[in-house]
Amino acid sequence: MTLSLDQARTIIRKTLEKGRAENFKPLSVVVLDAGGHVQAFEREDGASPGRFGIAHGKAYGSVMLGMAGTAQMARADAQAYFMTAVNGVFGGQVVPVPGGILIRDADGAVMGAVGVTGDTSDNDVIAAMAGIDAAGLSAEV
């Protein structure tokens, strides 16, 4: 099972609403499907132009490795050359920090991933969780 566009829209809209409610910096949010392909993306006015790439890199690594951003960061901290090598394999498209979040179905299978960037990594996760909760989905940060 993969995410629908309706689910992706809910995630993005509610993530951005949370960012405004918390007065975070302008956020950018991408939703990828179970194969790591872009389903939907929005970048708030005032965000820097390169934010698609950062949001995508957080979510893309999560799907391709089956490992969310926090776990990727731990691995990068412990064994930097491993994450460097992973980026060689995946064309430099992996950004191994919090804000890349796996979405799982009731059986634990990955349905896709969300990538948020713009404020601190911790705040990016707070906003994303609001979006994923609003869509009634289960997340792994």
Among the listed ranges 73-81, 123-131, 132-140, the one in contact with a second copy (CB under 8 A) is 73-81
Site for a second copy in 82-121 (CB under 8 A): 82-97, 109-110
Q: Single out the residue of 63, 114, 137, 141 in contact with a second copy (rule: CB under 8 A).
A: 63
Return d(Cα 121, Cα 117) in angstroms, integer.
7
137 binds a second copy, rule: CB under 8 A: no
CB of 106 to a second copy, least distance (A): 15
Site for a second copy in 17-36 (CB under 8 A): 33-36
Cβ-based nearer residue to a second copy, 5 or 21: 5
* Amino acid, single-letter form, for residue 81: Y
Q: Single out the residue of 48, 74, 120, 122 in contact with a second copy (rule: CB under 8 A).
A: 48
Binding region for a second copy (CB under 8 A): 2, 4-5, 8-9, 33-50, 52-54, 56-57, 63-67, 76-77, 79-97, 109-110
